């Protein structure tokens, strides 16, 4: 399996190099040269299998010869062993034909653990074999950073630097990033918003001298390995609701478009997905784009679903690549326009996007009200991101089963949940002492040179 860039100008890479590289050198994102498919019989055979078995079947064709069959099975087993639920991604029924896919049983209580725990295992195995080390730099609106620090802390061949927007992450998110004691992990509070953090990371990747000197690697959701790991739970949940014999729809609380794009890959692999619904908060660039065909940057408004507070949605570039019939030059030209504020998607491409994705936008008040309603009517306490999804899903319920992705545990967004319901959701026992641990924070201006200096000073070699 070989990987190509969405902008068509970067070297073709193996799975291993794609995973270790992150962003392509032409500024694009890596995608598989072709998407393997699974037959209806292969999908039907997943019924009743463990999460790990399904994960192996779904991901194996993408990994090529980077790992042997046995190695890859072991990496999957190690990745999910620390989850707090035997099903890993259990499905809960909310109402007739409406289901909640609980993706928050990993070590940092958000769905990011599904990909990050596996990436941690894969990096460790690949680097141990080559004897190389890497410096991971990532931007986070909260959950990616905590999941990355949790997955990579203490690993010998890796230094990790996470940039997060100062004052704009929840206390649980911040503490998960700032309390690990291992010397290879560093949380940097940047004076700016998430898009500033993400732009700084992209600038570091485009500074090739720095990139090569520190052996930069990326684990943001632009990393293909992240997307791949997220394809798995679309299969486990759809199969438990009757796929491949029956179609299933999904509503996905969306920010950087990684999670919902994994749904697109599942669909292209042969999973019968009727609708993929993009749910946004008031930072609604994706909803506006699907409605109007114009992708125009706006400023970011802080909300109670901060992991979706974003205007430049990186993985949307992958969706565009497929909507443009895999035309890298067309994507490159749209992305060049984006640096000047925005672009208009061609008629053919917007039609293709609307064939795959529907969308909805949810206000702050509606988010709070939805948390209250689902507790009162369905007995489920939702995190604010999940509430955004549930609200949009509610507008699309019909004869096809609808799965809303529950992207985080309500205790991770305590303040918003408490305001909406008066209930103070407790942290799971394994992290009950989080508020007593000592924090270690580096504060930095929104300045590329300053952050590069911090990284050069602190890396192990
Ligand atoms: C990251 C995140 C999202 C958004 O996912 P994307 O893949 O960036 O679209 C939604 N909810 C929560 C809780 C998250 O952590």
Q: 403: which 2 tokens?
A: 């799965």
Q: Which H or E run includes 61?
A: helix 51-63
Instruction: Give 221 Cα–ligand 1 centroid separation in angstroms.
Output: 9
Instruction: Give 231 Cα–ligand 1 centroid separation in angstroms.
Output: 14
- CA distances (Å), origin 353, targets 276, 282, 405: 10, 21, 21
DSSP label at 166?
Answer: T
Pocket flag, ligand 1, residue 307 (CB < 6 Å): yes
pLDDT less than 70: residues of the chain: 461
The three-class DSSP label of residue 362 is coil
Pocket flag, ligand 1, residue 29 (CB < 6 Å): no
DSSP string computed for 248-308: EEEEEE-SSSHHHHHHHHHHHTT--EEEEEEEE-S--HHHHHHHHSEEE-------SSGGG
Nearest C-alpha to atom 1 of ligand 1 is from which residue? Answer: 307
Q: Which atom of ligand 1 lies at the shortest distance from residue 310's CA?
A: 8
Pocket flag, ligand 1, residue 259 (CB < 6 Å): yes
Whether residue 244 has a cis bond before it, omega within 30° of 0: yes
Q: What is the pTM of this model?
A: 0.95
Residues 6+ apart with CB under 8 A from 121: 75, 76, 78, 79
Q: 104: which 2 tokens?
A: 């928050």
Pocket flag, ligand 1, residue 178 (CB < 6 Å): no
Closest CA to 386 of 104, 192, 69: 104
Pocket flag, ligand 1, residue 407 (CB < 6 Å): yes
Instruction: Give 430 Cα–ligand 1 centroid separation in angstroms.
Output: 23
Q: 210: which 2 tokens?
A: 């720095």
Pocket flag, ligand 1, residue 408 (CB < 6 Å): yes
Pocket flag, ligand 1, residue 143 (CB < 6 Å): yes
Instruction: Give 36 Cα–ligand 1 centroid separation in angstroms.
Output: 26
Pocket flag, ligand 1, residue 257 (CB < 6 Å): yes
With the most atoms of ligand 1 within 8 angstroms of its CB, the residue from 116, 385, 412 to mutate is 385
- Active site positions, annotated: 112
Pocket flag, ligand 1, residue 221 (CB < 6 Å): yes
Give the per-residue pLDDT at 430: 83
Give the per-residue pLDDT at 461: 63
Q: Which atom of ligand 1 lies at the shortest distance from residue 386's CA?
A: 11
Give the per-residue pLDDT at 25: 86
Write down the residue that tokens 């909260």 correspond to. Answer: 142
Instruction: Give 55 Cα–ligand 1 centroid separation in angstroms.
Output: 20
Q: Which atom of ligand 1 lies at the shortest distance from residue 255's CA?
A: 9
Q: Which atom of ligand 1 lies at the shortest distance from residue 412's CA?
A: 13
Instruction: Give 157 Cα–ligand 1 centroid separation in angstroms.
Output: 28
The three-class DSSP label of residue 347 is helix
Pocket flag, ligand 1, residue 159 (CB < 6 Å): no
Give the per-residue pLDDT at 271: 98
Give the per-residue pLDDT at 317: 97
Pocket flag, ligand 1, residue 308 (CB < 6 Å): yes
Query: Spelled out in words, what is the top-level CATH class assigned to the domain 91-109+224-421?
Result: alpha beta
Instruction: Give 424 Cα–ligand 1 centroid separation in angstroms.
Output: 22
- CA distances (Å), origin 132, targets 38, 198, 204, 217: 35, 26, 20, 12
Nearest C-alpha to atom 8 of ligand 1 is from which residue? Answer: 256
With the most atoms of ligand 1 within 8 angstroms of its CB, the residue from 252, 253, 413 to mutate is 253
Instruction: Give 385 Cα–ligand 1 centroid separation in angstroms.
Output: 8
Write down the residue that tokens 């709070």 correspond to. Answer: 368
């Amino acid at each position: 399996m070989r990987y190509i860039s969405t902008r068509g100008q970067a070297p073709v890479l193996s799975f291993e190099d794609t995973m270790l590289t992150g962003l392509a050198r032409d500024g694009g994102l890596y995608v598989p040269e072709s998407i393997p498919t699974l037959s209806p019989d292969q999908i039907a055979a997943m019924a009743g299998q463990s999460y790990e078995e399904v994960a192996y079947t779904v991901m194996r064709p993408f990994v090529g010869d980077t790992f042997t069959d046995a190695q890859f099975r072991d990496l999957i087993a190690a990745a999910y062993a620390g989850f707090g639920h035997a099903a890993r991604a259990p499905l809960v029924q909310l109402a007739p034909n409406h289901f909640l896919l609980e993706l928050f049983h990993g070590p940092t209580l958000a769905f990011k653990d599904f990909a990050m725990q596996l990436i941690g295992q894969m990096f460790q195995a690949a680097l141990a074999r080559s004897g190389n080390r890497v410096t991971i730099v990532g931007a986070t609106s909260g959950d990616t950073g905590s999941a990355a620090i949790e997955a990579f802390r203490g690993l010998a061949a890796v230094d990790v630097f996470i940039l997060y927007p100062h004052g704009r992450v929840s206390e649980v998110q911040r503490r998960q990033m700032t309390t690990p004691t291992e010397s290879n992990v560093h949380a940097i509070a940047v004076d700016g918003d998430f898009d500033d953090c993400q732009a700084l990371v992209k600038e570091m990747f485009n500074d090739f001298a720095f990139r090569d000197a520190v052996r930069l690697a990326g684990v943001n959701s632009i990393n293909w390995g992240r997307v791949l790991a997220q394809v798995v739970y679309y299969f486990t949940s759809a199969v438990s609701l009757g796929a491949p014999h029956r179609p299933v729809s999904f509503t996905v609380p969306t920010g950087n478009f990684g999670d919902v794009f994994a749904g697109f890959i599942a669909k292209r692999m042969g999973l019968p997905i009727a609708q993929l619904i993009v749910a946004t908060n008031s930072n609604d660039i994706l909803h506006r784009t699907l409605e109007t065909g114009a992708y125009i940057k706006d400023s970011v408004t802080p909300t109670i679903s901060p992991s979706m507070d974003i205007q430049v949605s990186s993985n949307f570039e992958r969706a565009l690549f497929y909507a443009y019939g895999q035309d890298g030059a067309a994507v490159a030209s749209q992305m060049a326009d984006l640096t000047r504020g925005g672009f208009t998607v061609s008629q053919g491409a917007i039609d293709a996007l609307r064939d795959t994705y529907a969308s909805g936008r949810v206000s702050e008040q509606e988010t709070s009200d939805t948390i209250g309603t689902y507790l009162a009517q369905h007995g489920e306490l939702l995190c604010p991101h999940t509430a955004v999804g549930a609200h949009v899903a509610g507008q699309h319920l019909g004869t096809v089963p609808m799965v809303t992705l529950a992207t985080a545990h309500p205790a991770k967004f305590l303040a918003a949940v408490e305001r909406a319901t008066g209930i103070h959701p407790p942290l799971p026992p394994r992290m009950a002492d989080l508020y007593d641990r000592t924090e270690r924070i580096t504060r930095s201006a929104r300045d590329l040179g300053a952050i590069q200096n911090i990284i050069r000073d602190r890396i192990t070699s």
